[in-house]
Chains A and B, each alone.
Chain A
């Protein structure tokens, strides 16, 4: 008798049609799934520890790595070291970091054959899609923030915080340099979101985690190669690798921010196109066989 009363009290709170949990619940499940994975923890720990190792190793080199921007000052200037690591990370590390999670997040449901269970019993396709997308993007941004903080802190502590020589030969005082280096790292957020959406698309479309993880990284490298070629530079604004270089303007005098605005447009364009395609593919998918 008591139990029926309780049920009756609870029932009106949620509408019959909305018995399914909302986006909040889906988000918490997805983030819980992600947090319980070993590789997520490994990536986050790696994002904190790897920069320290890289900084110590590069710092101990007898000759500075001159072939990368800021490399020639990296062994005796902490800000240059943080920018050297940034230049290196943007080549393939950042796309890989986000793809490891985003490329797997939809494909793992295929791998484990859990689409039917999740979609028929728990939630709607679009709720699940947005939850997975939000979790993947949040993971990318958290990883980027950790990597940036760890790199800047390690460079500051290991190499030092001397005034930095900028890309126009100007001397940048330490406190300004710190803000600019942090800004340069922050500008990676736009392309990394773009690469996350690209990985999500591959994850949905290929139903294969390996493709979801590898394809964005390979495409990133191809775009970098295409962007570096002479004669076809009109393509550069459309490449998702170009935003990784938008920070150069911050370290020049006078500063230029045109490439950062372009970076916003390019990254947003790629993100919207990839997410729309992924959403449409997922909406039309036949999961009954899964």
Chain B
């Protein structure tokens, strides 16, 4: 009796292990795909966003008028956009006359997607607000788009949606720290988006040009650009102008973005 139980359990374990290994090796055929998320998320977001508009008393917002569309990506450039995980990011754009989009043209949603096709999405609070909002009667109510659950059809349409958004290039350095030889470096990040980031950074300290340095950063990564010319003595700040050729700057597509960073005293 005991022997038969052990042998059955061992057989089951072997079957599961072998099939698991085979499936893991072949990619697994997950029903969680980029195209399904890109269809499900904007639909749900548009429904919930018009609920929010009703709560806030905003006029003229319907799920159709928002024209929401999304581009989803799992784990940046290094991972295939398929399978469950908490590292899905979706860029969503929509049109609301009460609340225009930022210059890059989209907001980033973070998704935790489960293997059964259900997900939890959290919206960008600078665009959709925080967990609670004040409705038009003055009551504190839960913000329907701050965080929400949805499910897509695991057998639904899986043809690519073709929606693409450029990665956002941002300066992540907040305080300049010149090295011993007086030169400075700037850290840049390249957000979620299609095909990574490319461009140049021009640095100026007063009238002195510190040089123009090119950069190429893969999606969802950071890079440091180093300026060879030392900062002249007496300069108190440096202006960095980021010109993006692939991706989008924080001022919008094709517009150079200038960031001024002060130098430490002395």
**B-binding residues in A (CB < 8 A):** 66, 69-70, 72, 165, 167-171, 206-207, 211, 226-236, 242, 245, 248-249, 251-253, 256, 258-259
- CA–CA, A211 and B9, complex, Å: 13
Q: Given A235-B23, A259-B154 in contact, is the A169-B31 Cβ separation under 8 Å? A: no
Q: List B contacts of A165 (CB < 8 A).
A: 48, 51, 144
A sample of 27 inter-chain contacts (CB < 8 A) reads A69-B118, A69-B151, A70-B149, A167-B118, A167-B150, A168-B40, A169-B43, A169-B44, A169-B46, A206-B1, A207-B1, A226-B20, A230-B30, A230-B84, A231-B30, A231-B83, A232-B19, A232-B20, A233-B31, A233-B32, A235-B20, A236-B31, A252-B152, A256-B153, A256-B156, A258-B155, A259-B154
Q: Given A206-B5, A234-B29, A245-B116 in contact, is the A169-B155 Cβ separation under 8 Å? A: no
Residue B136 CB within 8 A of the other chain: no
Of B16, B28, B43, B115, most A-chain CB atoms within 10 Å: B115
Residue B85 CB within 8 A of the other chain: yes
- CA–CA, A211 and B4, complex, Å: 13
- Cβ A169 vs Cβ B148 within 8 A: yes
> Which 8 pairs show the lowest CB-CB distances between chains A and B?
A169-B47, A169-B44, A256-B153, A169-B48, A258-B155, A167-B151, A231-B28, A248-B151
- CA–CA, A251 and B149, complex, Å: 12
Q: List A contacts of B83 (CB < 8 A).
A: 230-231, 233
- CA–CA, A230 and B83, complex, Å: 6
- Cβ A72 vs Cβ B149 within 8 A: yes
Excluding A66-B147, A232-B19, A233-B84, 18 further A-B contacts by CB distance (< 8 Å) are: A69-B151, A167-B118, A168-B44, A168-B47, A169-B46, A169-B47, A169-B51, A169-B150, A228-B116, A230-B85, A231-B24, A232-B24, A233-B28, A233-B83, A233-B115, A234-B23, A234-B28, A242-B116
Residue B196 CB within 8 A of the other chain: no
- CA–CA, A40 and B265, complex, Å: 81
Q: List A contacts of B117 (CB < 8 A).
A: 248
Q: List A contacts of B151 (CB < 8 A).
A: 69, 167-168, 248-249, 251-252
- CA–CA, A227 and B153, complex, Å: 16
Q: List B contacts of A256 (CB < 8 A).
A: 153, 155-156
- Cβ A228 vs Cβ B115 within 8 A: yes
- CA–CA, A26 and B80, complex, Å: 58
Residue B45 CB within 8 A of the other chain: yes
- Cβ A248 vs Cβ B115 within 8 A: no
CB distance from B152 to the nearest CB of A (A): 8
Closest-by-CB residue of A relative to B149 is: A69
CB distance from B82 to the nearest CB of A (A): 9
- CA–CA, A197 and B1, complex, Å: 21
Contact with A along B1-43 (1 / 0, CB 8 A): 1000100000000001001100110011111100000001001
